Amino acid sequence: MSDKHTRIVITGLGQISSLGNTIEQLSAALDAQQSGVKTLEQIPSEHLIASYGGEAWDFTGDIENYGPLEKTTMRAIKKGSRLMCREIQMGVASAQHALNHAGLNPEVYNPDRIGIVYGCDYILSHPQEFREGVRASLDDQGGFEFNNWAEKGMPNLNPLWLLKYLPNMPASHIGIYNDLRGPSNSLTMREASSNLAIGEAICTMERGDADLMMSGATGTRIHPLRTVYVNRQEILASNKFEAAQASRPFEQDREGMVIGEGAGSFVLERLEHAQERGATIYGEIVGFGSSTVINNDFTAQFEQAFSNVIEQALSSAKMSAGEIGHINAHGISKVETDRAEAKAINAAFGSEKPVVALKSYTGNMGAGSGAVELISSLEAIRKGTLFRTLNYDTPDPECHINVTKTADISAGNSFINLSVTPQGQASAVVVKKYQD
């Protein structure tokens, strides 16, 4: 954070995940210790390493999933939905929930002073987008003939198909539907995207370019093509455990990550602007950090990356490690990544600071993970106690951290949210309970 003393607060929240389409549903699932990981329905699983994932079960893309809407906005989203793939729809829906949660509409804000910085995974097309074009390009023996593609194949493609999958489209749609005319930017940094988007949104307001900013991220690991890629490239949990027991951050018997999907959005606002309009304040963002650390062979140095962003975030927040109430860990359930994160947390905070891991409920939502995790910690601070980390039965002896086993541990008045990509790009955000 800069020394301009620009205080940035959170005045609106929205989320879509395997734990529901609202903040209330997410909160209730955490209270009930109810996992969102179940047998996959969107894609066939018989040839996958595992048959389960954290699908956004209640999200169908219907207009009802977007929360309360004005008629003009409802018509615009209905019309535009054909140009939004599922990931983009989840991001837009969570943003509409956040705007409604903040009590914002075009009559409340100056459209030239509200912008958006949004995170997203790179998005893969669905195979059916090319089905008719491929069929038209087959030769007499049923084989694909590339020489037929330009003349026979491409005319069978939807000319607007690419707009459904561009990673800058969540920000574009959110801005268009809500007449947000301020600065707009999109970040595609995998799991680190949410915290980085929040950091960039804060910088935008500190520069004086906006009074309010929409931020957040959307992502998925559940997709006909992406899931195949993930199964070949990532370390995943197998069918050794029941679905709800498979995501086991920092636990001795963990095997790997569980796939998931989701999105989270925030209304960020200069404190003075929020006070002037009488907004409810859910937290104050006081620090953030970003660091990428890789070896010469391009393998990630997770521990150093985590250590760097923890140090940066605490420094920018002007807080000591002891002042942090709890840590919302990346907690992806991969042995190497969990151990590196645990070492960095232990080095900075010691072994007693409470640590929660939302991915034990949802699996890895990609770019959307950090946003929904941040919301879960805001809810914990509101309620006063942390949620239990699921499936933490036998601690990994090499992870010397205090992972929550019960739901009666104090959340404190602040937290740090951690994320990292497989390539070693880490990010962090520090949030405090708002006080005058």
Give 275's DSSP letter: H
The predicted pLDDT at position 3 comes to: 45
How far is it, in rounded angstroms, from Cα 252 to Cα 407? 21
* The pLDDT of residue 376 is above 60: yes
Q: For residue 385, name the pLDDT band (cuts at 50, 70, 90).
A: very high
* The pLDDT of residue 2 is above 60: no
How far is it, in rounded angstroms, from Cα 32 to Cα 83? 37
Domains of the chain: 8-124+165-432 (3.40.47.10), 127-162 (no CATH)
Helix, strand or coil, per DSSP, at residue 296: coil
pLDDT digits (tens, 9 = 90+) for 146-205: 999 999 999 999 888 889 999 999 999 999 999 999 999 999 999 999 999 999 999 999
The predicted pLDDT at position 128 comes to: 87
DSSP for 3-30 reads SS---EEEEEEEEEBTTBSSHHHHHHHH
The predicted pLDDT at position 436 comes to: 82
The predicted pLDDT at position 109 comes to: 83
Across residues 88-105, what is the average pLDDT?
Answer: 96
How far is it, in rounded angstroms, from Cα 395 to Cα 248? 10
pLDDT digits (tens, 9 = 90+) for 23-75: 999 999 999 999 999 999 999 888 889 999 999 999 999 999 999 999 999 99
Across residues 357-375, what is the average pLDDT?
Answer: 98
* The pLDDT of residue 435 is above 50: yes
In the chain, % of residues over pLDDT 90:
89
User: What stretch of H or E contains 274?
Assistant: helix 271-276
- pTM value? 0.95
